[in-house]
Amino acid sequence: MVDLCERAGPVSPAFRQGGGSAGFGARVIGNVFWVAYGAVTGNPYVVVMFGFYWVMAVVGVVNAGKEGT
């Protein structure tokens, strides 16, 4: 499921008819799961890497929401 969210995320913003927020939202969910996995397994590299990706996905959600205004 996490991998599906990660792969579906970039596809949705490519369609310019309102799918941007949904695509970045899928990435947010997928990255949260990877951060949790890294925390549970004690892998700080996964936590840092996907934590950065999560922040960038949140920025994408915010910016995609601004396009509609």
Tens digits of residue pLDDT in 10-45:
544 544 555 566 777 788 899 999 999 999 999 999
> What pLDDT score was predicted for residue 20?
60
Tell me the C-alpha to C-alpha distance, in Å, between residue 64 and each of 30, 41, 57, 68.
18, 33, 10, 7
Q: What is the pTM of this model?
A: 0.65
CA atoms within 13 A on the CB side of 18: 0
Cα(53)–Cα(58) distance, rounded to whole angstroms? 9
Q: Say which residues have a Cβ less than 8 Å from residue 34's Cβ, sequence separation at least 6.
A: 2, 6, 46, 50, 53
Tokens representing 4?
């599906």
What is the pLDDT at residue 46?
A: 96
Domain residue spans in the chain? 2-67
pLDDT computed for residue 47 by the predictor: 96
pLDDT in tens, 43-59: 999 999 999 999 988 88
